[in-house]
Structure 1
Amino acid sequence: MQSPETEGSGEKQQLERELEELLRQVEGIGEIRVMLTLEEENNSIYASESGGTKVAGVLIAAQGADDLTVVQNIQEAVQALFQVEAHKIKVMKMK
């Protein structure tokens, strides 16, 4: 049996991979890297009332992020998927 931290880490990595795969399909986005932070409570992953893991913040490095429309599309997608406030999402241009 995995500890809550191990389970949360695996779920976090899966969410990151799935978001990367999805965003790669969006026009204007090339290579992309995603890092999520999850809310924690007493050193265990916080489960929201809906039963899922709650995302606290998102950092994305993406080719194409020099286009403001691409950045806006990424931010709106993340907000829709994870119900994360805009100020908790940072999109940066990948070199």
Structure 2
Amino acid sequence: MTKQQWIVILLLGLLLSVIALPVSKKSSTPKQTILMDNSTQSTDEIQSSLERRLQNILENVEGVGEVKVMLMTEEQQGIYRSGETEVRGVLIAAEGASDPVVVQKIQQAVMALFQIEAHKIKIMKMK
């Protein structure tokens, strides 16, 4: 056999091995998002839902204790942001807020969840 025939056979073998590789099928179901679909819910419903979800999460963090949450939101309108709800400020009353470490944990969690600055978050000790 000539050198060209060996190259052709080698390339055919490589092509057949690539064809035989398993292919993963992508799921046709859409990914879930953290926030709800704003088109079917009012701003107040979204705000209440976010408050409940944040309260439930924080109450399960060690040292936080009982929590009450209030969000200040604003509905954005524009070319690219039609009907999105933006969190503008957060007020949290927590039993464990007398501990500075707990306050820092709460603040960091809220900053990460809502992409807001620290000065827009107020954490107070619950009586």
Tell me which interval the TM-score lies in, with the shorter structure as reference length.
0.7 to 0.9
Aligned to 2:76: 46
Query: Per-residue deviation at 1:52?
Result: 4.5
The one-letter code matched in structure 2 to 1:46 is Q
Unaligned runs of 5+ in 1: 40-44
Q: How does 1:1-95 map to 2 (within 5 A)?
A: 7-39=42-74, 45-46=75-76, 49=81, 52-95=84-127
The one-letter code matched in structure 2 to 1:38 is T
Query: Per-residue deviation at 1:53?
Result: 1.9
Query: Per-residue deviation at 1:94?
Result: 0.1
Q: Which has the larger radius of gyration?
A: 2
TM-score, normalised on structure 2? 0.62
Structure of greater relative contact order (alpha carbons < 8 Å, 6+ residues apart):
1
What's the secondary structure of 1:76's corresponding residue? Answer: helix
Query: Per-residue deviation at 1:19?
Result: 0.1
- Cα distance in 1 for partners of 2:101, 2:84 equals 30
Q: CA RMSD in A?
A: 2.2
The one-letter code matched in structure 1 to 2:97 is A
What's the secondary structure of 1:54's corresponding residue? Answer: strand
Compare the two structures and name the one with the higher strand fraction.
1
TM-score, normalised on structure 1? 0.82
Unaligned runs of 5+ in 2: 1-38
Q: After the TM superposition, list the runs of 4 or more consecutive aligned residues in structure 1 that deviate by more than 2 angstroms.
A: none
Percent identity, aligned pairs only, is 55
